[in-house]
Amino acid sequence: MTGTGRVLYVIVCAAGPAGDVGKLVTMAQDDGWTVQIVATPNALDFIDVPALEKQTGRPVRSRYRKPSDPKPPRADAIIVAPATYNTINKFAQGIADTYALGLLAEAPGLGIPVVVQPFVNSALASRTPFRRAVETLRDEGVHVLFGPGQFEAHPPSAGADRVDSYPWHQALSVIAQITGVPDNPAANPIRRWDQHTDARTLATILIKKHETMPRRILARLSAAPGEAVDADTLGRGVNATPEQVAEAVSRINSHAEAFGFIPLVTFEGAGYLIDPSTAHVVADALAQIDR
Ligand SMILES: Cc1cc2nc3c(=O)[nH]c(=O)nc-3n(C[C@H](O)[C@H](O)[C@H](O)COP(=O)(O)O)c2cc1C
């Protein structure tokens, strides 16, 4: 078990990807978190409890403690993944009839950041109770990673095909953003912007960090994928000196690197450019921000 003393609770529900939750544990430990697994009682059938206890060095918890048992350490952050239709709906309604839901019931009131990453099919996701639950939780400040660029519902009976691509890393990246515990780029040192389901979300977060001028540089370059634009021309278009352009590009790329991604903007021969495979991610993120 590694750890900085900051405790991440990973709440695992009874859905297909639950058996792979050890992947999230590994990534979180690489980022310096001490991980506490909490399983819903139904999820116990989906996970390898002894393997997870060995990996985390802590008991997997699924029931409320006895009043005489010592209090476990408080969570600094909580990820619910995979989050079921059942647990999401109950969390939104304030039901606390499992230990997992009891933790979630208090978390927003205690100011503990919560990221919920669902795994549901489109039949469940289309239901009014589910859509309302997502909205209610977001209104309370819970980060529900559901929708384009995040987890998207699969057709009924197709869940098994989606287990391997379940984006565990995305939940952790969002927790890293919220808590300031840096996402460890070493875990994914050369991530390409066109090959990760969380790239658009991260590009949006990254671009939001920057002021108007760097954003206009990204808009100009992503509108002409692969076309090199020299610093003077780029600067004239955004009211900046070539030095300011260079500095803005350098800061954008430092953030990309901190997320474990290759640079967004590269310099080749005549000037700056955004690779065609990256440009559409940038353009999508800019459009998302402008909406
Ligand atoms: C093999 C299997 C796979 C399941 N997959 C899902 C799923 O992907 N998403 C979901 O919301 N429920 C799924 N369910 C149903 C949940 O397990 C069920 O709603 C359960 O009550 C959820 O309990 P929990 O939310 O306390 O973990 C699955 C059930 C089984 C037996």
CA of 15 to the centre of ligand 1 (A): 4
Pocket test for ligand 1, best of 44, 80, 86, 120 (most atoms within 8 A of CB): 86
Average pLDDT over residues 245-271: 81
As a whole number, mean pLDDT of residues 85-110 equals 97
Fold of the domain spanning 199-290: Arc Repressor Mutant, subunit A (1.10.10)
Residue 13 has pLDDT above 70, yes or no: yes
Higher-confidence position of 195 and 255: 255
Tell whether ligand 1 has an atom less than 6 A from the beta carbon of residue 33.
no
What pLDDT shows up at residue 203?
79
Region 172-192: mean pLDDT is: 73
**84 CA closest ligand 1 atom index:** 11
Contact 80, 116 (CB under 8 A): yes
Q: pLDDT value at position 188?
A: 54
Give exposure, 52-87, as e/b (b: 16+ Cβ within 10 Å): beebbebebbbeeeeeeeeeeeebbbbbbbbbbbbb
136 C-beta closer than 6 A to ligand 1:
no
Q: 96: pLDDT confidence band, cut at 50, 70 and 90? A: very high
Taking residues 29-53, what's their average pLDDT? 96
pLDDT on residue 124:
98
Check whether 264 has a pLDDT greater than 90: no
Q: What's the mean pLDDT when you consider all of the chain?
A: 89
The residue contributing the CA closest to ligand 1 atom 8 is 15
What does residue 198 show for φ and ψ, rounded to 5 degrees?
Answer: -95, 5
Is residue 112 predicted with pLDDT exceeding 50?
Answer: yes
Which residue, judged by its Cα, is nearest atom 6 of ligand 1?
15
* pLDDT reported for residue 183: 61
Q: Is the pLDDT of residue 55 over 90?
A: yes
84 lines ligand 1 (CB under 6 A): yes
Our answer on whether the CB atom of 15 is closer than 6 Å to any ligand 1 atom is: yes
Higher pLDDT, 150 or 194: 150
Lowest-pLDDT range, 61-75, 145-159, 182-196, 232-246?
Answer: 182-196
Domain edges within the chain: 7-187, 199-290
151 pocket-lining for ligand 1 (C-beta < 6 Å): no
86 C-beta closer than 6 A to ligand 1: yes
Residue 193 has pLDDT above 70, yes or no: yes
- Asked if the model's pLDDT at residue 38 lies above 90, the reply is yes
pTM, two decimals, is: 0.69
Q: How confident is the model at residue 2 (pLDDT cuts 50, 70, 90)?
A: very low
Token pair recorded at residue 116: 């919920």
Grade residue 190 by pLDDT with cuts at 50, 70 and 90. Answer: low
Residue 3 has pLDDT above 50, yes or no: no
Q: Is 204 in the pocket of ligand 1 (CB under 6 A)?
A: no
Q: Which CATH class name applies to 7-187?
A: alpha beta
- Quickly state the pLDDT bin for 25 (edges 50, 70, 90): very high
What average pLDDT does the segment 96-104 reach?
Answer: 97
CB 16 near ligand 1, within 6 Å: yes
Beta carbon of 159 within 6 Å of any ligand 1 atom? yes
Same fold, 7-187 and 199-290: no
Where residue 260 falls (left for φ over 0; alpha for ψ -120 to 50; beta otherwise) is left
